[in-house]
């Protein structure tokens, strides 16, 4: 025989369930509300009140449409239609709401229907996705910036070599759509054959150097030739272990073409200037030999003209050497020679002119295998800088020493010194430490060319300087 349920016991259990629901509703961290058929907010929990910036009493009794962004109000009408008219048991939507301070909050809304005492209500949970929306908008702006700057971001896992790419990365390599898989090996068939060893060497040396920065030629999937600047830096995991490489790839084809046109022009102009300058210099040398028959005023003019022509020759040579350096045509003719003697010859003109006191110290017996003419050019550039930027300091020291398997040459002046912020820029193309001072003339190519010459020898170049204490320019080359 079935036992009858006591109505009082049923009512008691119903109230207990209702109390439990209210406790859970109030204390849950998920923003929740109960709405009526007409979208009136009947009840909210603390999490929703905090999300919207209202107290519960301020928001209860209002309609959800009062808080909805105009463009999203139709979505709430769709919810109302689906739940109460079409009797769909639950409905999801993404919505934008105004908080009390009129700022926006983005939410994913999930609403389910339930009945209570013959009425149908909606129980709604709001998941705050404002941070995600902000990230998506930021990502869109980043992708647009990358697209119009012809740049892409890449990230490679050091565990499996898998490469994650930004939008537009694959397009940079000639693909019309995103490829399903990309690893570090995927780059190799697209890199110009002569540049592949350089790329592989840079990637393999990353654990030691921590970063990579090189320019490569590509033959893209659609057959076009491109130049790219490939950069990356190792990122560590929370434990401090190398975890991934994060970097950028920039299309620099247009820049390379512009530089090529400029270098072609400079090369042609420099070669064309060589012939008349040589003729002029020869004429001045002949005049110099006939000085005994010339008045003192003309003698001075001939000497000044010779100095001016020498400066022009240096400028033209700088232009030619810069052009050759940029086009990888700076060939070395190596011989074995005594470094001390080459330095003596390089500084001889200063002694003859008597403008500066040049003191050469250190090893006079060091023999090096290098391009003597180009090493002499580096020393002359160092001496020219010492004279140019320290005109009031007559003394210049040149020191020769052996450091391991290399020879080191240092040229020290006693001028005003160079600010620390400028030291890293000195060997850049066309940079001049005193470019704001009209006393300093030239193209700013001397140190750039010197740097390239030393690099071609497998050496290093640098400068040590402190404001008020002079400067020491130095280089090393293998013995």
Start-end of H helices in 327-444? 339-353, 372-389, 420-423
390: its two tokens: 């320290």
Alpha carbon distance 226, 172 (integer Å): 9
284: its two tokens: 């001045």
Alpha carbon distance 205, 214 (integer Å): 13
pLDDT at position 13 is 56
Sign of torsion, CA 233 238 240 242? negative
Q: What is the distance between the terminal CA atoms of the chain, rounded to a whole angstrom?
A: 110
177: its two tokens: 């759509």
pLDDT at position 400 is 94
Is 258 strand, coil or helix?
helix
pLDDT at position 268 is 67
pLDDT at position 143 is 66
Decide if 232 contacts 206 (C-beta within 8 A): yes
pLDDT at position 408 is 94
pLDDT at position 442 is 44
Which strands form 395-403's sheet, in the order they lie side by side? 357-362, 395-403, 406-413, 471-478, 460-465
pLDDT at position 407 is 94
The helix-helix angle for 446-456 and 296-326 (nearest 10°) equals 50
Measured torsion, CA atoms of residues 54, 58, 60, 66, in degrees rounded to the nearest 10: -80
pLDDT at position 410 is 93
Q: What residues of the chain score a pLDDT lower than 70? A: 1-21, 142-143, 145-149, 263-264, 266-272, 274-275, 314, 318-330, 349-356, 429-445
pLDDT at position 362 is 92
- pLDDT tens column, 11-24: 555 455 566 667 77
pLDDT at position 368 is 93
Nearest to 453 by CA among 365, 348, 376, 385: 376
- Cβ contacts of 366 within 8 Å, gap of 6 or more: 338, 339, 340, 400, 402, 407, 479
pLDDT at position 355 is 63
220: its two tokens: 């893209």
5: its two tokens: 């349920």
């Amino acid at each position: 025989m079935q036992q009858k349920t006591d109505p009082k016991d049923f009512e008691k259990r119903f109230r207990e369930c209702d109390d439990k629901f209210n406790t859970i509703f109030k204390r849950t961290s998920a923003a929740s509300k109960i709405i009526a058929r007409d979208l009136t907010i009947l009840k909210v929990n603390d999490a929703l009140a905090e999300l919207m910036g209202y107290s519960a009493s301020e928001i209860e009794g209002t309609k959800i449409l009062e808080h909805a962004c105009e463009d999203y109000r139709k979505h709430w009408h769709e919810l109302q239609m689906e739940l109460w008219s079409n009797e769909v048991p639950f409905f999801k939507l993404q919505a934008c709401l105004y908080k009390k301070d009129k700022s926006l909050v983005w939410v994913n809304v999930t609403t389910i229907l339930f009945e209570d005492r013959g009425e149908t209500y909606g129980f709604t949970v709001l998941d705050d996705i404002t941070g995600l929306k902000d990230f998506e908008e930021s990502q869109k702006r980043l992708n647009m910036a990358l697209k119009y700057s012809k740049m892409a971001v890449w990230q490679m896992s050091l565990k499996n070599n898998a490469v994650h790419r930004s939008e537009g990365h694959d397009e940079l390599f000639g693909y019309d759509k995103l490829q399903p898989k990309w690893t570090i090996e995927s780059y190799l068939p697209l890199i110009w054959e002569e540049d592949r060893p350089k790329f592989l060497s840079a990637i393999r040396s990353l654990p030691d150097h921590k970063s990579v920065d090189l320019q490569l030629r590509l033959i893209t999937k659609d057959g076009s030739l491109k130049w790219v600047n490939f950069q990356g830096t190792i990122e560590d995991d929370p434990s401090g272990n190398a975890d991934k490489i994060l970097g950028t790839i920039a299309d620099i084809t247009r820049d390379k073409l512009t530089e090529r046109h400029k270098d072609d022009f400079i090369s042609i102009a420099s070669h064309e200037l060589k012939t008349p300058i040589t003729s002029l210099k020869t004429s001045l040398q002949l005049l110099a030999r006939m000085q005994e028959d010339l008045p003192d005023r003309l003698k001075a003019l001939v000497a000044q003209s010779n100095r001016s022509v020498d400066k022009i020759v240096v400028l033209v040579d700088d232009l030619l050497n810069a052009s050759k350096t940029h086009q990888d045509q700076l060939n070395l003719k190596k011989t074995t020679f005594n470094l001390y003697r080459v330095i003596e010859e390089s500084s001889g003109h200063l002694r003859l002119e008597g403008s500066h006191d040049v003191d050469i110290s250190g090893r006079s017996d060091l023999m090096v295998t290098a391009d003597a003419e180009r090493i002499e050019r580096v020393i002359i550039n160092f001496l020219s800088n010492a004279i140019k930027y320290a005109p009031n300091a007559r003394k210049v020291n040149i020191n020769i020493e052996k450091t391991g398997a290399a020879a080191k040459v240092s040229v020290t002046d006693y001028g005003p010194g160079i600010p620390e912020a400028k030291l890293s820029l000195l060997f850049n193309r066309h940079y001049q430490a005193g470019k704001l001072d009209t006393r300093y003339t030239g193209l700013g190519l001397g140190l750039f060319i010197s740097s390239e010459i030393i690099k071609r020898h497998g050496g290093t170049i640098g400068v040590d300087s402190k404001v008020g204490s002079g400067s020491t320019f130095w280089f090393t080359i293998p013995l």
